């Protein structure tokens, strides 16, 4: 007698006796509803004919609200794309690969991954089954990771550029001495520096070229609460006009020709610390308005980007120009001048500081002897007298250069300083012209025009040209020069007077 073998459940190894088929179907139904993905079946009218619990949970509805309803009515924001997807499945009777949909559902941003495949029913009936993975959390995590990675890259770029700038600063500091001097005028400046340093007030340093404005800025930073952060130095006169905005505020990749990578600006690098804007009077007018906005709003915007970046920077500016005169001449914005001139500190010229000249010379001599490996004990008495008698038009910068040159040339333990120009007139006009006894008006005019020409490096036209300084039209000045016999000789800074 042949033994009856119980039938197997399709796609499983479980045997299901015929009398237990209802239990098997109930088992399958439990699996269907326990699936971690949404499942829904629609007919050719796009009406829902089957769905699982996960799908209703994703919608925030119950099964009774969904059965027999067109799926595009339940998901109106996906209506067009779902219609195309299901139509393709019905027309090809082949599975459609995974599609990702981003949309809003109940006021929340959702991301679903949907796979569709055909299902054949009895007779000619056709249906399409959709398997839906909710990947909202995955995409949110990816977005957060991408943002975090971008922040890390931005910090890496900032640290890289900050490191480059700090290397430059370290090399500068190694060549710089501390602020030295005991004269009354210098002590007054130091007192002002000591008062303003602990605050976050904007400081304007003024004084002739070479008076140590950068050294004063570093001293303010050193005494401030920001001393642990970098001080970034920007020489506005040394940067090309077409690049200064990029240097200060940065740019995005591709924002202009040559912008092959994103650049972090000096303000962003200096965030938390101090930025020193040297020669601020040289900044182009069109950029002054942008700087004013940065100072007022404490935000920058990179070139090629519309994203505002918050910054926390203490600003110190410096100039050897008379900025109030630049304002009157229309070359400097008045509102920016008032914004920068919160706490002005004037640094006296070296010729106003008396014996400070000797203190500075000795201090820098010691630094140079270490730097160049020399053994020098003192400065000779004759050299000290020469230092005190000289007018120092180049101020501290000129003195330091002179001392370093002397240290390099010195062959003994006593430093001898020779001032090449100490016995020569300080201006070219004084070298050329004889002393005026009973001068005529023409002779006075000649002298004055010649001195202005020498001061303007014989540039007649344009900003800061001799014509502008004299308040004359360039053609008028040229006519006067011809009349008075003033001309430049052999393309040097020498001049001659015809007939004298």
The tens digit of pLDDT for each residue in 225-253 reads 999 888 999 998 888 877 888 888 988 88
| Domain boundaries, position 97 | 35-134
Is 16 part of any domain?
Answer: no
Closest by CA to 204, choosing from 61, 321, 79, 101, is: 321
Residues 327 and 193 in one domain: yes
How many domains does the chain divide into? 4
Q: Are residues 342 and 360 in the same domain?
A: no
Separation CA 259–CA 16 (nearest Å) = 71
> Which residue bears the tokens 């990771």?
145
The confidence band for 429, taking pLDDT boundaries of 50, 70 and 90, is: very low
pLDDT band at 316 (very low <50, low <70, confident <90, very high): very high
Strand partners, 464: none
Percentage of the chain exceeding pLDDT 70 = 84
Same domain, residue pair 170 and 190: yes
Whether residue 353 contacts residue 187, with contact meaning beta carbons closer than 8 Å, is answered with no
* DSSP code string of 128-175: EEEEEEE-HHHHHHHHHHHHHHHHHHHHHHHHHHHHHHHHHHHHHHHH
Residue 206: what are its φ and ψ, rounded to 5°? -125, 160
Angle at 450 between CA 448 and CA 454, to 5 degrees: 120
Residue-wise pLDDT for 168-225, tens only, equals 555 555 444 578 888 998 999 999 999 999 999 999 999 999 999 999 999 999 999 9
What is the pLDDT at residue 340? 94
| 234 and 360, same domain (yes or no) | no
Q: Which of 188, 223, 185, 220 is nearest to 204 (CA)?
A: 220
Of 384, 415, 446, which one is at a domain's C-terminal end?
415
Residue 221 in tokens:
């930073």
In the predicted structure, residue 164 carries a pLDDT above the cut 80:
no
332 and 213 in a single domain? The answer is yes
Residue 6 lies in a domain: no
Indicate which CATH number applies to the domain containing 492. 1.10.10
pLDDT bracket for residue 17 (50, 70, 90): low
DSSP strands (E only) in 22-70:
38-43, 48-51
Residue showing tokens 């052999």: 490
Element spanning 235, H or E: strand 231-235
Decide which of 435 and 421 is more confident.
421
Task: Determine, yes or no, domain membership for 436.
Answer: yes
Between CA 52 and CA 47 the distance in angstroms is 15
Asked whether residue 295 falls in the same domain as residue 195, the answer is: yes
Query: Considering only CA atoms, which of 205, 212, 213 is closest in space to residue 344?
Result: 205
- What are the tokens at 260? 């092959």
- 478: closest CA among 458, 498, 499? 458
My answer on whether 170 and 286 are in the same domain is yes
Q: What CATH number did the domain enclosing 339 receive? A: 3.40.50.300
Q: Is the pLDDT at 69 greater than 80, yes or no?
A: yes
Q: Is residue 299 part of a domain?
A: yes
Q: Across the chain, how many H-helices and E-strands are there?
A: 20, 18
Grade residue 166 by pLDDT with cuts at 50, 70 and 90.
Answer: low
Render pLDDT for 345-360 as a digit per residue (tens, 0 to 9): 999 999 899 889 999 9
Residue 29, pLDDT above cutoff 60: yes
Indicate if 121 and 82 belong to the same structural domain: yes
- Clarify whether residues 291 and 211 are in a common domain: yes
**Section 276-302 average pLDDT:** 91
Are 259 and 177 within one domain?
yes
* HEC string for 271-303: CCCEEEEECHHHCCHHHHHHHHHHHHHCEEECE
Secondary structure class of 79 (helix, strand, coil): helix
With respect to residue 8, please indicate whether it lies within any of the assigned structural domains.
no
Tell me: do 168 and 280 sit in the same domain.
yes
- Percent of the chain whose pLDDT exceeds 90: 30
Residues whose CB is less than 8 angstroms from the CB of residue 293 and which lie 6 or more positions away in sequence, other chains included: 299
Looking at the fold, whether 409 and 443 belong to one and the same domain comes out as: no
**Tokens coding 222:** 């050193």
Q: Dihedral sign for Cα 418, 420, 424, 430, please.
A: negative
CATH code of the domain in which 127 resides? 3.30.450.20
Q: At 126, phi and psi to the nearest 5?
A: -125, 150
Q: Can you tell me whether residue 77 is helix, strand or coil?
A: helix
Domain end position, chosen among 365, 391, 415: 415
Is the residue at 22 inside a domain? Answer: no
In a domain, residue 421? The reply is no
Q: What is the CATH number of the domain that holds 391?
A: 1.10.8.60
For residue 19, tell me if it sits in a domain: no
**Confidence category of residue 399, pLDDT binned at 50, 70, 90:** very high
Distance from C-alpha of 333 to C-alpha of 121, rounded to nearest angstrom: 81
Q: Regarding predicted confidence, which is higher, 431 or 458?
A: 458
End of a domain among 328, 346, 364?
346
- Length of the chain (residues): 500
Which of 158-162, 357-361, 447-451 holds the top average pLDDT? 357-361
């Amino acid at each position: 007698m042949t033994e009856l073998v119980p039938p197997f459940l399709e796609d499983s190894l479980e045997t299901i006796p015929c009398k237990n088929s209802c239990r098997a179907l109930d088992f399958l139904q439990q699996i269907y509803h326990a699936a971690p993905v949404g499942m829904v079946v629609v007919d050719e009218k796009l009406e829902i004919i089957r769905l699982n619990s996960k799908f209703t949970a994703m919608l925030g509805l119950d099964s009774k609200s969904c059965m027999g309803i067109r799926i595009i009515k339940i998901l109106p924001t996906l209506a067009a794309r779902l219609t195309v997807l299901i139509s393709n499945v019905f027309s090809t009777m082949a599975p459609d690969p995974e599609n990702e949909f981003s949309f809003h559902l109940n006021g929340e941003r959702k991301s679903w991954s949907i796979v569709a495949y055909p299902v054949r029913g009895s007779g000619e009936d056709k249906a399409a089954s959709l398997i839906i993975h909710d990947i909202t959390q995955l995409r949110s995590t990816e977005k957060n990771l991408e943002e975090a990675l971008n922040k890390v890259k931005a910090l890496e770029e900032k640290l890289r550029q900050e490191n480059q700038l700090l290397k430059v600063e370290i090399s500068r500091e190694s060549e710089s001495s501390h602020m030295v001097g005991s004269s009354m005028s210098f002590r007054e400046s130091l007192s002002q520096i000591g008062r303003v340093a602990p605050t976050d007030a904007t400081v304007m340093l003024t004084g002739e070229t070479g008076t140590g404005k950068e050294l004063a800025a570093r001293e303010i930073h050193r005494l401030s609460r920001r001393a642990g952060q970098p001080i970034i130095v920007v020489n506005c006169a040394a940067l090309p006009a077409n690049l200064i905005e990029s240097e200060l505020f940065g740019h995005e990749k591709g924002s202009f020709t040559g912008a092959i990578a994103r650049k972090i600006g000096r303000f962003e690098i200096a965030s938390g610390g101090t930025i020193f804007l040297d020669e601020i009077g040289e900044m182009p007018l069109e950029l002054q308005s942008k700087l004013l906005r940065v100072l007022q709003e404490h935000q920058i915007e990179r070139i090629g980007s519309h994203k505002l970046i918050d910054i926390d920077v203490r600003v110190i500016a410096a100039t050897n120009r008379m900025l109030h005169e630049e304002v009157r001449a229309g070359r400097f914005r008045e509102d920016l001048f008032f914004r920068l001139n919160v706490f002005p500190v004037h640094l006296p010229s070296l010729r106003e500081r008396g014996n400070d000249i000797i203190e500075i010379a000795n201090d820098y001599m010691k630094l140079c002897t270490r730097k160049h490996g020399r053994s020098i004990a003192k400065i000779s008495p004759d050299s000290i007298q020469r230092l005190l008698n000289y007018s120092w038009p180049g101020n501290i910068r000129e003195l330091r250069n002179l001392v370093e040159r002397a240290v390099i040339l010195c062959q003994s333990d006593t430093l001898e300083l020779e001032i090449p120009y100490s016995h020569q007139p300080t201006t070219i006009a004084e070298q050329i012209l004889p002393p005026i006894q009973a001068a005529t008006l023409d002779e006075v005019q000649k002298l004055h025009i010649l001195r202005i020409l020498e001061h303007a490096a014989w540039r007649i036209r344009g900003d800061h040209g001799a014509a502008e300084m004299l308040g004359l039209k360039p053609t008028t000045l040229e006519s006067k020069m011809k009349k008075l016999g003033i001309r430049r000789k052999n393309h040097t800074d020498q001049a001659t007077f015809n007939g004298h």
